[in-house]
A and B are shown apart, each in its own frame.
Chain A
Amino acid sequence: MKDEITREERVDNLKGMGCSRKRVEDARFTQGKGNYVDDIKLDGMLFGDFVRSPYAHARIKNIDTSAALEVPGVLAVLTAADLEPLGLHWMPTLAGDKQMVLADGKVLFQGQEVAFVVAEDRFAAADGIEAVVVDYEELPVIVDPFKALQSDVVLREDLVAEDGTIPDGAHGPRKHPNHIFTWEAGDKAPTEEVIANADVVAEESMYYHRTHPCPLETCGCVASMDKVNGKLTLWGTFQAPHAIRTIVSLISGIEEHNIRVISPDIGGGFGNKVGAYPGYVCSVVASIVTGKPVKWVEDRMDNLMTTAFARDYWMKGKISATKDGKITGLQCHVTADHGGFDACADPTKFPAGFMNICTGSYDIPTAYLEVDGVYTNKAPGGVSYRCSFRVTEAVYFIERMVEVLAIKLNMDAAELRRINFIKKEQFPYTAALGWEYDSGDYHTAWDKALKAVDYDGLRKEQAERVAAFKRGETRKLMGIGLSFFTEIVGAGPVKNCDILGLGMFDSCEIRIHPTGSAIARLGTISQGQGHATTFAQILASEIGLPADSITIEEGDTDTAPYGLGTYGSRSTPVAGAATAMAGRKIRAKAQMIAAYLLEVHDNDVEFDVDRFAVKGAPEKFKTMKEIAFAAYNQAIPGIEPGLEAVSYYDPPNMTYPFGAYVCVMDIDVDTGVPEIRRFYALDDCGTRINPMIIEGQVHGGLTEALAVALGQEIAYDDMGNCKTGTLMDFFLPTAWEVPNYETDFTVTPSPHHPIGAKGVGESPHVGGVPCFSNAVQDAFRPFGNTHTNMPHDHWRIWKTANELGLHD
């Protein structure tokens, strides 16, 4: 047989790994043809919505639903009393706590779900909500976690024994009724000793404020109970559809095979859609009660005020070093405000997520971390907003501590980082707090980044600017923000990562069709990451069929293999690995078929792009397309018909993407307005599957980082009123606020991942937040600033300038 096209053309035709293949999803998204939860309309579908508490802490004395039931179109109003006989008035959280589905005697945060109004449409539901009369008795409100640990106001009476003793929580002993857990990593005494005897110690307290993932599409679901066949179908904005199926089965008692969970198109998740919410439970119950499908979709205020927030970490750190700047020890204490219920979405054994990655990219011999979780009268959550579990917090902490240490040492912060980086030859590197970093080449990335931005030139310019400012020639200061981050993603090895006892493996199942096209199903679910594009590329390279001939399907638990879903940048590290492994199984069988067809021994053929060819005789080959057909039309001795494979992948380790970011910012001292002049982002995510998608992910993650660093927050007043419940006050940047981003990369493949990929969706957020923040802080460093808390909105920047006497 003659080969008409070159090998290079054959590679291009596959659109496999490394190709900036256009996103196959975009045709429908850009034409308004997506299918989101709120697009689902079923015959006779009802709409449910919540009566929510206006108070942050109150006892409920009575709920009168009679007037609501008179509102035209209202069919039912559920309260905790209705759910109690089913045992559904409370539900388990992913963090080992439990949460009220509907207020059971009291409310613990503003916006808490009090009653569920079921009506013929959402308009009638809204009128019904107005007509429900709730009699509240206000209780003292605690919004400060430090005060919570001193207060004799008990927020969670359900967690205190009748004799007043405090039973252990899911993560061990509790010190106070409002205390949730203490979690430790590392060695306390040796760390304290190192710090006590160090040449130099820098200390800082910092607050990583509360914010919110705020996906464009809010959370919602449609529950449909078919009473004839006993099957429950639940469509929803679920980042982990299989886990939701298992949870629904466990709490409802419906057998798991009778539950079908479907995640349709999802308009962004960023961690907000990992957990289980009262809306899901109430919709299911309402569908069972009414026998009709029931839809629940949050509005923007519901979303910002009630479903999973992120951060709210009060961090106190000490970092010690020799006088030459070699870091010797690190200590961190966190007071973590979890709100009224502990509904963090972390692997079970990690109540503070992977906060113990807080030694960062540095070779720090001794470290100790202690985290105290606390209840307050705020909404529950504590999810990983565009990051792996609590990694933004950890990276912010260390990247601020390094800057604070640089100030103490009177050293350049770039140089201080360089002399402390873990060296290339130290990998795999076991950090003081336990993680084994798989790979890295930090010095190369750092040098490339500093050169790209002409770091020395920037510092010179900055010094000139300070001089000009002091001479009264300008009112603008210049800040140079640096950050070097190491992420820990791809949760994770089943030996240490599970959620509700479900190991955090992931999966892929492939079916090759006779004509040489394919469908692959995964246990993950895209929320905008472009899985249908990139996973097809992995497969194209692995099995030699064009990516355009491969359909990727996710999100339907009746068809997709079990998996733990998409968050924490785990899809490529875990499901991507499963995809490659399943592809390799296909290839192994294809090799046998090819050998049979070519009448040679199995070992005498080799894979080449899109075919198996006889070794040493490349003109003798069978394309994968031909092999696929043969798999279905020939009786091959010793080989079953068909060409399918499934792989469940339990990763041996996490992956550790890293990157080097630099931000140049000009700050108007008089108005507090920052202007980002330049942002350079170098990411190393190992093997690059689709450079264009990587760039898109970096742009998105940086934009959310800009938001968090420069203004995005969920703020409460002393009464526990949420002050930032709409997009007028909650900062969501638009094209106008976003600077131009320069992206760059190095490639350090993961040694244990089948294709060497590490995950990238969250890196830019993790590295971006400290970079923007450091730029603000750095602008004021020449005037004595060591640290100010985020978010750096206009008035807080102005306040920093004011306190440093720059307005006099």
Chain B
Amino acid sequence: MIPAAFEYYRPQDMAGVLAILEEHGDDARVMAGGHSLIPMMKLRMADVPHLIDLQDVGGMSDIDVGTDSITIGALVTQSDIIDHAGLAAAAPILREAALQIADPQVRYMGTVGGNVANGDPGNDMPGLMQCLDATFTVVGADGTRDIPAREFYEAAYMTAREDDEVLTTVTIPTPKGGWAYEKQKRKIGDYATAAAAVQITKDGDTCSSVSIAMTNLSDTPIYSEAAGAALVSTTVDDAALKAAMAAMLEDIDPTEDNRGPVAFKKHVAGVILRRAIERAWSRA
């Protein structure tokens, strides 16, 4: 497994990155942790004649926990997320999810920016970010723009980001209430058979708001508004849970792979969602 030959660049600032992207267009790609991109290059499924390493650009490795929102630099690693006490207190679902990604070695390298920009339906953070209603900030030759996570994913490996844009920051409104990231996988280092991200608030005994997103059950992450709607104003009883599961199943479109056939995936998606809701509700 040897990649085709490529030029390696390590620019010191964003202007340098954008200049190379402009010069080589489609033939150039940025690399963050490299733990999705390099395997694809080695399999010769990605052809990247000009590889731009973002590690020296600077200014994209901070986690900033504000009162209303949290910003996470694109180069923050999954391991950084796990280790950040302030973040774990403000948005514990991030840590719970990051701990279920790959293994420690991968998490030392893999970044938040790479994970959400990659566009692989198997990645866990896109669904998570949709659940949290995050916004992605990208910068290109014409300046910066913000793209909501819920509008970012178009198809497998196809996103709203243009080829010559770089994702710099993820901004999340500080989440409220109970949370859960529930993932079924075959083994450590595996992508999800099914995963659910749930953030839920209660008012007395009833659910006042909820946000639900599913991972690896379609060619994009699935933010299921309908599943959420089925829970709001209920006591999250069995009937409401079943309604949420049924609504979610309408939204996903899994395909058969080595993890199993469609019927199995749908069944597991329902079970995983139910467990996620129950756990989140118990923490709300």
B1 partner residues in chain A, CB cutoff 8 A: 299-301
Contact A794 B267 (CB under 8 A): no
Contact B4 A794 (CB under 8 A): no
Report B130 CB to chain A, min CB distance, Å: 23
Of B187, B258, B268, B272, which is within 8 A of A733 by CB?
B187
Contact indicator per residue, chain B 263-275, by CB within 8 Å of chain A (1) or not (0): 0100110011000
Given that A127-B4, A729-B258 are known contacts, is A799 also in contact with B264, CB under 8 Å in the complex?
Answer: yes
Given that A123-B2, A807-B267 are known contacts, is A737 also in contact with B260, CB under 8 Å in the complex?
Answer: no
Residue of B nearest to A728 (CB): B190
Report B237 CB to chain A, min CB distance, Å: 16
Report A716 CB to chain B, min CB distance, Å: 12
Complex Cα distance A122/B42, Å? 13
B283 partner residues in chain A, CB cutoff 8 A: none
Of A127, A673, A799, which is within 8 A of B184 by CB?
A673
Report A446 CB to chain B, min CB distance, Å: 33
Contact B184 A734 (CB under 8 A): no
Contact indicator per residue, chain A 271-301, by CB within 8 Å of chain B (1) or not (0): 0000000000000000000000000000111
Residue of B nearest to A727 (CB): B189
Of A671, A715, A731, which is within 8 A of B268 by CB?
A671
Report B104 CB to chain A, min CB distance, Å: 11
Contact B184 A794 (CB under 8 A): yes
Contact B264 A798 (CB under 8 A): yes
Q: Is B215 in contact with chain A by the CB < 8 A criterion?
A: no
Contact B271 A670 (CB under 8 A): yes
B260 partner residues in chain A, CB cutoff 8 A: 793-795, 798
Q: Tell me the interface secondary structure of chain A in the complex.
A: loop
Contact A671 B188 (CB under 8 A): no
Residue of B nearest to A735 (CB): B188
Interface size class of A (residues with CB under 8 A): 20 to 34
Residue of A nearest to B256 (CB): A795
Contact A122 B2 (CB under 8 A): yes
Residue of B nearest to A707 (CB): B187
Given that A728-B190, A795-B261, A807-B267 are known contacts, is A123 also in contact with B184, CB under 8 Å in the complex?
Answer: no
Contact A126 B2 (CB under 8 A): yes
Contact indicator per residue, chain B 177-194, by CB within 8 Å of chain A (1) or not (0): 000000010111111010
Q: Is B259 in contact with chain A by the CB < 8 A criterion?
A: yes
Contact indicator per residue, chain A 753-797, by CB within 8 Å of chain B (1) or not (0): 000000000000000000000000000000000000000011100
Report A805 CB to chain B, min CB distance, Å: 14
Residue of A nearest to B272 (CB): A671
Q: Is A711 in contact with chain B by the CB < 8 A criterion?
A: yes
Complex Cα distance A723/B256, Å? 12
A733 partner residues in chain B, CB cutoff 8 A: 187
B259 partner residues in chain A, CB cutoff 8 A: 794-795
Given that A734-B103, A737-B187, A794-B193 are known contacts, is A130 also in contact with B4, CB under 8 Å in the complex?
Answer: yes
Given that A798-B268, A799-B264 are known contacts, is A731 also in contact with B187, CB under 8 Å in the complex?
Answer: yes
Complex Cα distance A750/B280, Å? 60
Contact B5 A723 (CB under 8 A): no
Residue of A nearest to B194 (CB): A671
Report A384 CB to chain B, min CB distance, Å: 25
B191 partner residues in chain A, CB cutoff 8 A: 728
Q: Is A13 in contact with chain B by the CB < 8 A criterion?
A: no
Residue of A nearest to B261 (CB): A795
Complex Cα distance A125/B5, Å? 12
Binding site for B on A (CB under 8 A): 122-123, 125-127, 130, 299-301, 670-673, 711, 715, 723-724, 728-729, 731, 733-734, 736-737, 793-795, 798-799, 802, 807
16 other A-B residue contacts (CB within 8 Å) besides A671-B272, A734-B187, A793-B186: A122-B2, A130-B4, A299-B1, A671-B184, A671-B268, A711-B187, A715-B258, A728-B191, A734-B189, A736-B187, A793-B260, A794-B193, A795-B260, A795-B264, A798-B267, A802-B267
